[in-house]
């Protein structure tokens, strides 16, 4: 069991647990979702993550009044230390270089070229610390004809084929609800950094790693790409049917109080479903006799199943299907997801009191590392909350130096 | 520039490049998308990945006639070695244990408990090789009340809130086109394995890492969760508007030949857009004067913009917007994505001749590792193509042993 971290300072919290990134220091220049998610996962794996914000704080902190943007900030910035730095001042740049000397990883997701313009590109920082793993998250990458296109989750969903493959064929393309491009970018960047950190442990050398959102999404379109190659043309959107039209039944079916997702990936599933429907008479009939025939007659198939499911509540249908080991799940609403007893039991979601937001549910990250104690969740803090601790205790600046730098606007 | 790998055996290909996972050996028990994607990325980073299939080959190979399932198999299994093993035979299990003695990583994404039933659980294999990083990808995790629910991308999209947050409010929930749950699971598992591999390099000890698809998707719903917390109720689906209703304009707008995604994340963007529209008269008017007002009057806002965009082609609109540095992108069709000059220029998509599929475009993985040569793409091979090489050359079995094991059905 993890020990309580409520009463311990950050250093001791990290020392009590045997987490895999213990002793690793990360300078986090991430913003919005992409970069901060990567460094959040590092913090939860035991790294010391120092989040660097501009003097007024990251812009996302200020979106709190519209929608609920403070929650995403809190979700992605647990267990970090919070400092401010004016990277447009010479003193701010110098302070960052001092930090780089003592760090293992620097991560940023500014637009390509922005770090170079600040005088903080990899070519500069590798001279300061040759062992540094320097990570850049971008929309399109630091090279190539579209390098400078402005990239946000919405525009990458448009460019990547996510929208073309999402939604119903009789409606316009629609984005996926999750900010999957931001998060695919962030988690691939996490993976690239860990790969480089392993390599550094073996060779002693750092490197510059890079991941673009666009390229990190492409593999997830496998099913759609398969259908494209299979048919030789741009596939129509398939709604809730399989993106490659390679499974049937595979759909979301109506119930009296919502919807249930249901699929058969073997003949045994299909025969079990017919049995649950009391339609054993259809076992073996030509038009449904194998996967190819079911795909060919999919409209009739889905109407047949949907007519049957609509007589059930979601819960009743899931019970009937589960008893026969047919793959299914209710389509859950957001409040059901947030309060999911399963994720709370596993400790990947935690309910806690956040100093700015009150009681909220926050994720603890999906990675389990053997018998390591899971990190206690430490809520995100106010802008600059750790300035004195980081610049004073860690970098060793004295009171006079701190006061002068603060007066000069470096932080 | 990477050297040509066409004429070199696998060992030499790996030796010519300075890739970060050189010297690392992976036993890949992955299937479908989740596990194979994680190990594909390891192969592209320089690891030797030995894919273990049942004697008849992975089921996905046989879906080729329906849709285009052979392409996804090819996408996720480049640069691997291909062996077969009957893990339900004692000889097959013994061969796997011999491999484990010489490997760094074993990765599997069977249902929870399946490896234990084969006698290949972590408790067994850590005795064979205490340094082993043993990775399990699951749908729900190896613990918790829903552990044994059958998990596929479709059912996890239903359970995770992805469907609840995707689509238009007047239509049923719809899945995201990409198999994002499978791939979020796979890439988080990659990250967890690399974290453990780093830790092994430092401590000498292996560990069991685990990632569930459900938990790996949760953070990507940040915007929707923000709106849920902001409003206190289950948010309606927002179509192409921001999932947290925290940005406006933020939508997909009609053109004469398709759609364009467009958003403003600053007042400057908004004023530039009004200027492009020749509607400077609207700068500063109350109902659009700031983000909160634009969100409050979003229907009028979107109608205004959509009326203007519909007079353009996609290309013409993107040109006008880009000239004014307003974030935008065309909604691309699948063929545009596959043939994207940008990704081909960067080498993350490659056109090659696949022995079973003919000319196809395959991804080379989105991770860039400094000056390391990128791996040449080596197409996936036939079932058991490397049996002799792996069991003979690597494990050291002689002709007689190989023949006996083959006759006995071990591979």
What would the pLDDT profile of A357-383 be if each residue is shown by its tens digit?
A: 899 999 999 999 998 878 799 999 999
**Residue with structure tokens 């007024």?**
A56
Interface contacts A/B by beta carbons within 8 Å: 519
B62 Cβ under 8 Å from any chain A Cβ = no
Contact between chains at B177 and A222 (C-beta distance less than 8 A): no
A41 to chain B: which residues are within 8 Å by CB? Answer: 191
Contact between chains at B252 and A175 (C-beta distance less than 8 A): yes
Specify the DSSP element, H or E, that contains B24. Answer: none
Domains of chain A by start residue, with CATH: 10-219+339-407 (3.40.50.10540), 250-331 (3.30.1540.10)
A330 to chain B: which residues are within 8 Å by CB? Answer: 158-159
Residues 159-178 of B with CB under 8 A from A: 159-168, 171-178
When CB atoms are compared, the residue of B140, B166, B226 closest to A67 is B226
Contact between chains at B295 and A341 (C-beta distance less than 8 A): no
Contact between chains at A72 and B244 (C-beta distance less than 8 A): yes
Contacts of residue B272, Cβ cutoff 8 Å, sequence gap at least 6: B324, B325, B326
ipTM of the modeled complex: 0.95
When CB atoms are compared, the residue of B41, B162, B208 closest to A191 is B41
* Letter string b/e over residues A317-326, b meaning 16 or more CB atoms within 10 A of that residue's CB: bbebbeeeeb
Residues 118-137 of A with CB under 8 A from B: none
Give the pLDDT band (50/70/90) at residue B66: low
Q: Sheet holding A250-255: strands in order across?
A: A250-255, A258-263, A328-330
Q: Which of A226, A77, A310, A355 has the alpha carbon at shortest distance from B177?
A: A226
Alpha helices in A145-259 (DSSP H): 153-160, 180-203, 213-217, 222-231
B190 Cβ under 8 Å from any chain A Cβ = yes
* pLDDT over 50 at B13, yes or no: no
Q: CA of A312: how far to CAs of A299, B35, B57, B321, B334, in Å?
A: 21, 35, 39, 50, 38
B242 flagged as catalytic: yes
Q: With contact defined as beta carbons under 8 Å apart, do A138 and A144 qualify? A: no
What is the DSSP secondary-structure string of A359-399? EEEEE--S-EETTPPPPPP-----TTTTHIIIIIIIT---H
Contact between chains at B343 and A21 (C-beta distance less than 8 A): no
When CB atoms are compared, the residue of A159, A360, A372 closest to B332 is A159
When CB atoms are compared, the residue of A69, A330, A370 closest to B158 is A330
Per the model's pLDDT, the better-predicted residue between B70 and B40 turns out to be B40
Residues 237-276 of A with CB under 8 A from B: 237-240, 242-247, 250, 252, 254, 259-261, 263, 265
Q: Which of A165, A221, A106 has the alpha carbon at shortest distance from B343?
A: A221
Give the pLDDT band (50/70/90) at residue B200: very high
Question: Distance, in angstroms, between B401 CA and closest chain A CA?
Answer: 36
Contact between chains at A178 and B224 (C-beta distance less than 8 A): yes
Contact between chains at B20 and A199 (C-beta distance less than 8 A): yes
A337 to chain B: which residues are within 8 Å by CB? Answer: 159-161, 164, 218, 221
Instruction: Count the Cβ atoms, other than its own, within 10 Å of residue A43.
Output: 28
pLDDT of chain A, 411 residues: tens digit per residue: 333 334 344 444 444 358 999 999 999 999 999 999 999 999 999 999 999 999 999 988 876 555 566 899 999 999 999 999 999 999 999 999 999 999 999 999 999 999 999 999 999 999 999 999 999 999 999 999 999 999 999 999 999 999 999 999 999 999 999 999 999 999 999 999 999 999 999 999 999 999 999 999 999 999 999 989 888 899 999 999 998 888 899 999 999 999 999 999 999 999 999 999 999 999 999 999 999 999 999 999 999 999 999 999 999 999 999 999 999 999 999 999 999 999 999 999 999 999 988 999 999 999 999 988 787 999 999 999 999 999 999 999 999 999 999 999 999
Instruction: Count the Cβ atoms, other than its own, within 10 Å of residue B50.
Output: 22
Burial of A172 by CB count in 10 Å (0-12 exposed, 13-18 middle, 19+ buried)?
A: middle
Residues 207-236 of A with CB under 8 A from B: 207-212, 214-231, 233-235
When CB atoms are compared, the residue of A216, A292, A369 closest to B66 is A292
**Least confident among A245-254, B92-101, B123-132:** A245-254
**Residue with structure tokens 């700068």?**
B283
**Separation CA B127–CA B115 (nearest Å):** 15
Question: Distance, in angstroms, between A296 CA and closest chain B CA?
Answer: 10
When CB atoms are compared, the residue of B237, B291, B329 closest to A159 is B329
What would the pLDDT profile of B322-368 be if each residue is shown by its tens digit?
A: 999 999 999 999 999 999 999 999 999 999 999 988 999 999 999 99
Task: Label residue A54 left, alpha or beta by phi (over 0 means left) and psi (-120 to 50 means alpha).
Answer: beta
Question: Distance, in angstroms, between A236 CA and closest chain B CA?
Answer: 10
A75 to chain B: which residues are within 8 Å by CB? Answer: 219, 222, 225
Residues 336-395 of A with CB under 8 A from B: 336-338, 341-343, 345-346, 348-349, 357, 360, 363, 366-372
């Amino acid at each position: 069991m993890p020990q309580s971290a409520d009463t311990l300072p950050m250093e001791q919290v990290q020392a009590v647990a045997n987490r895999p990134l213990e002793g690793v220091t990360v300078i986090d220049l991430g913003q919005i979702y992409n970069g901060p998610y990567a460094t959040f996962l590092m913090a939860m794996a035991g790294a010391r993550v120092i989040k660097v914000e501009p003097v007024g704080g990251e812009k996302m902190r200020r979106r709190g009044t519209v929608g609920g943007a403070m929650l995403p900030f809190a979700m992605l910035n647990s267990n970090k230390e919070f400092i401010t730095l004016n990277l447009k001042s010479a003193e701010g740049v110098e302070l960052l270089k001092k930090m780089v000397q003592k760090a293992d990883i620097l991560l940023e997701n500014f637009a390509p070229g922005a770090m170079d313009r600040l005088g903080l590109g990899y070519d500069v920082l590798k001279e300061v610390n040759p062992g540094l793993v320097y990570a850049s998250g971008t929309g399109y990458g630091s090279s190539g004809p579209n390098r400078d296109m402005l990239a946000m989750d919405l525009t990458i969903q448009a460019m990547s084929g996510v929208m073309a493959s999402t939604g119903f064929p009789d409606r316009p393309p629609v984005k996926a609800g999750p900010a999957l491009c931001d998060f695919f970018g962030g988690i691939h960047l996490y993976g690239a950094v860990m790969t480089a950190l392993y390599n550094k442990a073996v060779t002693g050398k750092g490197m510059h790693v890079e991941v673009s959102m666009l390229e990190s999404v492409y593999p997830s379109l496998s099913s759609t790409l398969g259908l494209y190659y299979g048919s030789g043309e741009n596939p129509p959107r398939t709604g809730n049917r399989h993106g490659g039209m390679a499974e049937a039944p595979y759909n979301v079916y109506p119930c009296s109080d919502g919807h249930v997702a249901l699929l058969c990936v073997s003949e045994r599933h299909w025969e079990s479903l017919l049995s649950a429907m009391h339609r054993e008479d259809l076992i073996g009939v030509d038009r449904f006799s194998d996967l190819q025939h079911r795909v060919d007659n999919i409209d009739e198939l889905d109407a047949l199943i949907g007519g049957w499911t609509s007589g059930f509540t979601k819960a009743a249908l899931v019970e009937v299907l589960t008893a026969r080991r047919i793959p299914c799940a209710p389509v859950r609403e957001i409040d059901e997801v947030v309060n999911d007893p399963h994720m709370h039991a596993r400790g990947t979601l935690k309910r806690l009191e956040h100093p700015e937001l009150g009681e909220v549910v926050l994720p603890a990250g999906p990675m389990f590392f053997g018998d390591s104690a899971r990190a206690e969740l430490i809520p995100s803090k106010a802008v600059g909350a750790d300035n004195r601790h980081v610049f004073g205790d860690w970098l060793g600046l004295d009171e006079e130096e701190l006061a002068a730098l603060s007066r000069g606007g470096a932080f």
